[in-house]
A and B are shown apart, each in its own frame.
Chain A
């Protein structure tokens, strides 16, 4: 029988499965919306967050961690939020909500739960220092994109896991880009799948686009948020942060540094700053896991 003539419903199965994924917590979306509203204040954010015990616990743990070096323990949510400030609140909200999705074994990508978690949180922490170093104003959006950029790997691993070995074999055999091999075998890639999930979770269009293009050198150089996400991911992979089998099987655009307005010295500087950001990543992971 010529199997090439048989219809392959893999892709349909992948996209149908996305609809049955647990939704991204509405409470986090709501808290983020309030946080960005200049007419609202910390008390308004606290009113929403206090409904979720897990979030409250994570916020208090972070505020009382060594990262802040407070002389007294804080047990009140509003005080903790005031001490954390808008950016840190956003990070804890996103990290806490994303963690259950990220703590998974991805056999097809040869990644342990620690790998995916460390890579995602590490990439997010790198995004902060790189945003500051390169004067990128949309650091909050970049942080969100960075922590969720590989969420598509989860869906592909669950629903087409065994076929990912075929993807890896093909990429190794042809020395081809892993995304190209994903398209050839599955008919999509984890970046596109991830972007679809984020659309379903109602994340802003720019974040979805950055996630969709983070391995596509021709596309990520067209948009600064996308280029920043690709850059942060590259730094995380080069530093060996939770690198999967696909980690180095991509191409970097020759124009990436030019688009970001930086040179080799800036790149080395970002690399060194990223190294320091890893300590923060470890602390956040430990806090949320504890």
Chain B
């Protein structure tokens, strides 16, 4: 088994059945997980910025990251009709001013982008005061959430 770690604000796609793609300690950031069980392709896009700050921004916004993730999925042989999307992360503080509600903004943007393209999330584990990690096994297309107490949940 080969584990590929997705760094913050980056993405990874693989068609190797033995590969596990992991995004660790998401905090309020959002992991968009896409699988195509028929084609045997899976990927994770790690989204940090909900929008542009407008100052020589090098980090992709959530929409740019999702676009890039889907593009790579198709390039690896995934088919639009068989793709499943999962969302994970987007933790929130017990109270946060709306300007700083990073998790909420990322989640809303991602859902809106999916809806615009006639898609919806097949599963999600988002929000609340929980720091999560997530991994997807390319071979089985199983996406797992890892909670702070190391418990794992299949989404």
Contact of A264 among B59, B92, B99 (CB under 8 A): B99
Q: Does A173 contact B (CB under 8 A)?
A: no
Known contacts: A248-B131, A272-B59. The answer to whether A265 contacts B27 by CB under 8 A is no
B25 part of interface (Cβ distance < 8 Å):
yes
User: Are the C-beta atoms of B25 and A240 separated by less than 8 Å?
Assistant: yes
The answer to whether A287 has its CB under 8 Å from any CB of chain B is no
Question: B93 and A240: CB pair below 8 A?
Answer: no
Chain B residues, Cβ within 8 Å of A254: 97
Q: Which residues of B contact A244 (CB under 8 A)?
A: 148
A-B contact count (CB 8 A): 104
Residues of chain A in range 228-250 having any CB-CB distance to chain B below 8 Å = 234, 237-245, 247-250
* A interface, size bucket: 35 or more
A241 to B8, CA, bound (A): 11
Tell me if B99 and A175 are in contact (CB < 8 A).
Answer: no
B48 contacts A by Cβ under 8 Å: yes
The contact string, 1 if C-beta is below 8 Å from chain A, for chain B 76-97, is 0000000000000001111111
B95 touching A252, Cβ below 8 Å: yes
A169 within 8 A of B: no
Whether B48 pairs with A239 at a CB distance below 8 angstroms is: yes
Please state if B94 and A248 are interface contacts (CB–CB under 8 Å). Answer: yes
- The distance from the CB of B153 to the nearest CB of chain A, in whole angstroms, is 17
- Is there contact, CB below 8 Å, between B29 and A240? yes
What is the bound-complex CA distance between A175 and B27, given in angstroms? 18
Q: A240-B24, A240-B27, A268-B51 are in contact. Are A110 and B99 (CB under 8 A)?
A: no
In whole Å, how far is B93's beta carbon from the nearest beta carbon of chain A? 5
Residues in B whose Cβ lies below 8 Å from that of A249: 93-94, 129
How distant is the Cα of A86 from the Cα of B97 in the complex, in angstroms? 37
Q: Which of A176, A177, A243, A252 lies in contact with B27, CB distance below 8 A?
A: A243
Contacts of B59 in A (CB 8 A): 272, 275
Residues on B facing A (Cβ under 8 Å): 8-9, 24-29, 48-55, 57-59, 91-97, 99-100, 102-103, 128-131, 148-149
**A and B contact pairs by CB, cutoff 8 A, 14 listed:** A110-B149, A237-B27, A240-B8, A240-B27, A241-B27, A243-B131, A245-B149, A247-B27, A248-B131, A250-B93, A257-B100, A271-B49, A272-B57, A278-B8
